[in-house]
A = this chain, B = another copy of it.
Amino acid sequence: MALIVMKFGGSSVGTPERMQRVANRILERQQEGNRIVVVVSAMGDTTDDLIDQSKLLNPNPPAREMDMLLTTGEQISIALLSMTIHALGGKAVSYTGWQAGIVTEPVHGKAKIADIKPGRIFAALDDGNAVIVAGFQGMTEAGDITTLGRGGSDTTAVALAAAVNADLCEIYTDVDGVYSTDPRVVKNARKLDEISYDEMLELAHLGAAVLHPRAVEYAKLSNVRLVVRSSFTNNEGTTVKEEAVMEQGIAVRGIAFDKNVSRISILGVEDVPGVLAQVFGALAKHGIDVDIIVQSGTQGGKADFSFTVSGGDEEAAIRVIEGIRSELPYRETTSETGLVKVSIVGAGMVSNPGVAATMFDAISSLGVSIKMVSTSEIKCSCVIAAEPLNDVVRSLHTAFGLDTADQVFVGGPQERR
């Protein structure tokens, strides 16, 4: 008898019909002889509607009260899902985050889970219930309601799976797994049977709509076996685990890309210790996320370096840099917008030294020049002009042997979100 945590996102329970489909799914899994803990998000647009209501009354509400407000969304979901299971003749009991024993740090809006006390969950399982837990929420030791912030419900599912020592944590979503790249761009994109935690993290921009990186980190840390699968089909899905099998002769698991990237360069910077910390510390303090950072060699005590930010952040970033010019003299800044980042990801890259060269070759054979390069053990990223991104991705997909001729798309582009 396996213990399975099943997580359903907001779109999976967004209508009465979908709620019933989810309830049936839970009962099927239970009838197969499994003990079931379910984590569910707020239905459809509930959270956005609550945020809109709050903005009318306070554009900058206290985080504690925002948590009090938003956690009602998941509470509605768990109550309705439990009722639906009862309507189908099943046995279920719903728990808010605090009732499920989810204790968080005393932080509002983005608390981390500090501890889970699963006593009530086990008691309810022993009584034959499907246990329905509200995602995205917990309680501080002092008894205040908190939310977990980005990726919240995925993280709740993984953390609960770790706390109850589940055999499996199934993330149900509206696509049927993780793909080798975005099927909207490459028709022959391949649904992956397996992927490692690290690869999943590197594919974050490809996979974030499916599974939040924070939950993947948590799963890696606790060695929770994850399966990403569709709530609309019975297809197998993608398993995320420590060691994922690679097919013979394939070094790359998937191709990710990130549109709307801006590159900023700081030229002629005095090359003293702490320069990078100063620049990127100042940017972080202003909430500007920096992605790739590249420093070229130093000449005459002066260095040039470049980094990328999300498109739209470049002006703010340059203002921040100008603001620290007195402490950090430099010659000039330049910036370029409307770029894209394309990355190949795969645990096999480390043992295949020709992979980066194959990538550069595929890109340059399309007449595209590479503006920045950054590599890690399992990833190689290039920043290029936005056009012709799709051709580049398709060309890389073919070059690394990822195409599949007879792929059937279930939950294809129109259902992706």
Interface residues of A (CB under 8 A from B): 16, 19-20, 50, 53-54, 56-62, 64-66, 68-69, 71-72, 75-76, 78-80, 82-84, 86-87, 93-94, 96, 99, 120, 143-145
Query: B residues within 8 A CB of A50?
Result: 76
Please determine whether A79 and B84 come into contact, CB atoms closer than 8 angstroms.
Answer: no
Contact of A54 among B57, B68, B80 (CB under 8 A): B80
Please determine whether B62 and A82 come into contact, CB atoms closer than 8 angstroms.
Answer: yes
Q: A30 to B129, alpha carbons, bound, how many Å?
A: 48
Please determine whether A83 and B99 come into contact, CB atoms closer than 8 angstroms.
Answer: no
Please determine whether B19 and A57 come into contact, CB atoms closer than 8 angstroms.
Answer: yes
The smallest C-beta distance from A47 to any residue of chain B, in angstroms, reads 12
Query: B residues within 8 A CB of A20?
Result: 57
For the complex, would chain A's binding face be called helix, strand, loop or mixed by DSSP majority?
A: helix
19 new A-B contacts, CB < 8 A, other than A65-B86, A65-B94, A66-B83, are A16-B57, A19-B57, A20-B57, A53-B76, A54-B79, A57-B83, A59-B87, A60-B87, A62-B83, A62-B86, A65-B82, A65-B83, A68-B78, A68-B79, A68-B96, A69-B80, A72-B75, A96-B145, A120-B143
Given contacts A99-B143, A143-B99, A143-B120, contact A69 B79 (CB under 8 A): yes
The smallest C-beta distance from A25 to any residue of chain B, in angstroms, reads 15
The smallest C-beta distance from A27 to any residue of chain B, in angstroms, reads 14
Q: Can you list 22 A-B contacts with CB-CB less than 8 angstroms, sorted by A residue number? A: A20-B57, A50-B76, A53-B80, A54-B80, A54-B83, A58-B83, A58-B84, A60-B87, A61-B86, A62-B86, A64-B93, A65-B94, A66-B79, A66-B83, A68-B78, A68-B79, A68-B82, A68-B94, A71-B75, A72-B72, A99-B143, A99-B145
Query: B residues within 8 A CB of A62?
Result: 82-83, 86
Q: Which residue of B lies closest to A20 (CB)?
A: B57
Given contacts A93-B64, A120-B143, contact A57 B80 (CB under 8 A): yes
Query: B residues within 8 A CB of A83?
Result: 54, 57-58, 61-62, 65-66, 69
Top 6 nearest A-B pairs (CB, nearest first) are A69-B79, A58-B87, A68-B79, A72-B72, A58-B83, A61-B83
Query: B residues within 8 A CB of A57?
Result: 16, 19-20, 80, 83-84, 87
Q: A53 to B99, alpha carbons, bound, how many Å?
A: 23
Q: A165 to B79, alpha carbons, bound, how many Å?
A: 35
Given contacts A16-B56, A57-B19, A58-B84, contact A72 B65 (CB under 8 A): no
Contact of A76 among B60, B69, B120 (CB under 8 A): B69
Please determine whether A75 and B76 come into contact, CB atoms closer than 8 angstroms.
Answer: no
Q: A415 to B53, alpha carbons, bound, how many Å?
A: 25
The smallest C-beta distance from A3 to any residue of chain B, in angstroms, reads 22
Query: B residues within 8 A CB of A60?
Result: 87
Given contacts A53-B80, A72-B72, A80-B53, contact A86 B58 (CB under 8 A): yes
Query: B residues within 8 A CB of A82?
Result: 62, 65, 68
